[in-house]
Structure 1
Amino acid sequence: MNNFLKAFLSFGLATSIEKLLGFVILPIYTKYFNATEYGIIDMIGTVLQVACIFGLLQLETSLQRYYYEYDKLKRKLLVSTIYYWIGICSIVIGGIIFLASGILSQQLFKTPEYAMLIKTIAIQLPLTNISMLGLVLLRFEKENLKFLSVIITKVVSTLLFVYVFVIYLKLGLKGVFIAQVSAIFCSTFLVTFYVRKQFVMKLSKIMSRKNLSYALPQFPARVGSMVLGQANRFFMLGYLSLAAIGIYSVSMKLASSIQLINTAFIMAWAPFMHAQFKKENNQKVFSNIFPLVGWGHLFMCMSD
């Protein structure tokens, strides 16, 4: 229980720092870009989020489910197999986006002018998914300080590159996406360095079947969740202007602070929950925790 509370506080701090990045960058973007340009940034970012889901194939849940089931070489086989699958899927989808960037720009913005910006998310896609997998590994290895250092690296490098490319070099929208690619490269390099000992140069067919059998049945639910959370932008694009989407995006970022506690809990809970499955008293542990979680949610709802 103490480990869970420590993880909750660590991930809460990391999440708060990452959310703080959005609040710090927001006035910069609103100063240098109008509502329409911010709408373009948001729409391209939404395409990236959707593409990331298809690149992951929900396989990160297999990593979480089976991580504590194995040790030593089998665990490394599990990790490496999932990295191979997600890496290949992300590169393939990124390649499709890169080749179809002109078509996507025309469909989204009625002009091929933003094809180059869309190409940058094709590069971001594999880096984002590999970074996310590394952060999952750090959580399950209980490397909370390393997890925090990756988040801080991402935040600091993003601010630095935004200053260089947007403010100093005045590259406009192109500077935003160059800054994003540069920052995600830095954080991905660091997290991959931290977890490098978890890999072996082998793809396991048995692990592949097991992981896909666990992950793919969940994938439609993940797509449905994505539709509820992200697809509204595409519907709005058909009825509203890019400026309206930009204003909507700003308001959503301002409101996202309410998710801090929930996000920190989920990050801490997944490793803790899966680690309990092999313990004999796991039912007692869960029965003690769930009332606390229930009362906590009730308190937050009443406070709202």
Structure 2
Amino acid sequence: MSIIKKLASQTAIYGLSSIFGRFLNYLLVPLYTYYFTAAEYGVVSEFYAYAGFFSVLLLFGFETGYFRFRDKEHPDRDVAYSTGLIFVVLINLSFFALILMVNSQLSAALNYANHPEYVLCFSMILIMDAIAAIPFARLRAENKAFRFAGIKIFEILATVLLSLFFIVYCPKVYAENHESWIAPIYNPAIGIGYIFIANLMASGFKFLLLAPQLSGLAWGFDRVLFGRMIRYSLPMVVIGFAGIINEMLDRALLKYLLPYDSHTNMKMLGIYSACYKLSILMSLFIQAFRYAAEPFFFAYADKSDARQVYAVVLKFFVIFCVFIFLLVSLFIDFFKYFVGDEFRSGLEVVPILLMANLCLGIYVNLSIWYKLTDRTLMGAFVSLAGAALTVALNVWWIPLLGYLGSAWATLACYSSMAIVSYLLGQKYYPVNYDVKRVIGYIGLGIGLYFAYNQLLVTIDWQPWLLAGALMLLYLLITALCEGRQLRKLS
């Protein structure tokens, strides 16, 4: 249990920093949704959807590849690090050169011919983030969670402050006096473009803070090691790309598949994207867990009790995720104020997306079988199957159900991937997961959610009081079922 406590503490460090950082970033959601229309916010959502795909392609899976081949014995001259970093830098410089050549044509193809700066800004953000991913991976591998978290928080804080400056402060000063000191740096015509500019400047600050880690470029490029890393990492590109399809494709397709006019489609895209943000707590925990768990899974794989530990990790992971599901779903009347009134018509997708992200988190846990057995190609096939299901269901359900179809497609995809990954894992890397309790806790969470909706119309209780009572019931049932292991963890 001590190793689980260590994993929990690492997750807490990443999680608290992520929660604080994302909370700051979360404050941008009401800023954007109160200052811009749903259609304008749809533009931002579309670009972030595209960015997800390119972030995978520009990293080539070398983040996970570095964990697999890093030199634990000689960390002061880790050639796997320098080899991966040099390769990622070259790939991204080539990408930037390509964008410079086709920017006008690409902007026109995306219907943003009047704003080619959108594409240019986003490509620069993508490049800096991709290159920074390798130094961040090294910080994680060396258990430098505080430095990792500090840089992440600084980047988000810079994004928030710059967004407030360009979106709130500058328009106010400019409206009072067009010839004020703000005039040379502010142009009202740029509008939502300042969201991209703020992100670009924050990424630049982050890049500067990671400069000491870039000195590892001097350790050289090992061609033989590169061959091993690229063979291991390329399937991770497929896995990552398929994962982005599952996560982001709905927002890219809504613009084209919703059965309305173009303006209404962008409005619906903005509403769906804003409500998607309300599942942020689940995403935060999964992201924090992944930061801590990926290096942990690799480092602990040689221990005799590794598989037993992995099983316990999954169970407690699900317990906490169900808690988050209930917290957001039952107190949705509070969380809805984080988006503007125009966006609240899409709140019905929030519980579905929360459960979808819970299934994604289970898949993250179960995916250790192909990473530890070097069967990344099989993992890629699982992700591709999930991506194919996502595409098919979105094409089928969006015209029929609107953005609600996208939410159900996301849940169907992640739950299917978790099931398939479990079955394959039991064949190639069997772990005795407590399947009955995992399914039981998920069922309990869903049951309490439906009970809340039924009881709300039958008993004369305040919604917050009923929600609190059901949350307490969940915690009591969990404590009774897991009391012995919880005492060991305390």
TM-score (norm 1): 0.90
Cα deviation, residue 156, structure 1: 1.4
Q: Partners in 1 of 2:231 and 2:77 — Cα distance?
A: 18
Using the aligned pairs only, state the percent identity: 19
Matches within 5 A, 1:264-279: 264-277=288-301, 279=302
Matched residue, 1:192? 211
Q: Which has the higher contact order (CA 8 A, sep 6+)?
A: 1
Spell out structure 1 runs of 4+ moving beyond 4 A: none
Q: Partners in 1 of 2:65 and 2:313 — Cα distance?
A: 27
Is 1:243 aligned with 2:244? no
Cα deviation, residue 204, structure 1: 1.6
| 2:192 aligned partner, one-letter code | L
Matched residue, 2:113? 112
Is 1:206 aligned with 2:224? yes
Cα deviation, residue 224, structure 1: 1.8
Matched residue, 2:417? none
SS at 2:218's partner residue? coil
Highest Rg: 1 or 2? Answer: 2
Cα deviation, residue 286, structure 1: 3.3
- The answer to whether the 8 A contact 2:20-2:153 is kept is yes
Residue 19 (structure 2) aligned to one of 3, 16, 31: 16
Q: Partners in 1 of 2:267 and 2:227 — Cα distance?
A: 46
Residue 228 (structure 1) aligned to one of 243, 246, 257: 246
| 2:42 aligned partner, one-letter code | G
Is 1:262 aligned with 2:264? no
What value does the CA root-mean-square deviation take over the aligned residues?
A: 2.1
Residue 291 (structure 1) aligned to one of 312, 315, 336: 312
Q: Partners in 1 of 2:313 and 2:228 — Cα distance?
A: 34
- The answer to whether the 8 A contact 2:159-2:198 is kept is yes
Q: Partners in 2 of 1:269 and 1:68 — Cα distance?
A: 19
- The answer to whether the 8 A contact 1:127-1:188 is kept is yes
| 1:18-53 deviation line (CA, Å, top 9, x unaligned) | 321332011111222111111111112222221111
Matched residue, 1:93? 95
Residue 197 (structure 2) aligned to one of 154, 178, 200: 178
| Greater Cα shift, 239-248 or 136-145 | 239-248
Gaps of 5+ in 2: 172-186, 259-264, 323-441, 447-490
| 1:5 aligned partner, one-letter code | A
| 1:250-283 deviation line (CA, Å, top 9, x unaligned) | 0111122222222222111111122224x5xx13
- The answer to whether the 8 A contact 1:25-1:159 is kept is yes
Gaps of 5+ in 1: none
- The answer to whether the 8 A contact 2:40-2:270 is kept is yes
| 1:233 aligned partner, one-letter code | R
Q: Partners in 1 of 2:310 and 2:75 — Cα distance?
A: 30
Q: Partners in 2 of 1:7 and 1:296 — Cα distance?
A: 14
TM-score (norm 2): 0.57
- The answer to whether the 8 A contact 1:97-1:119 is kept is yes
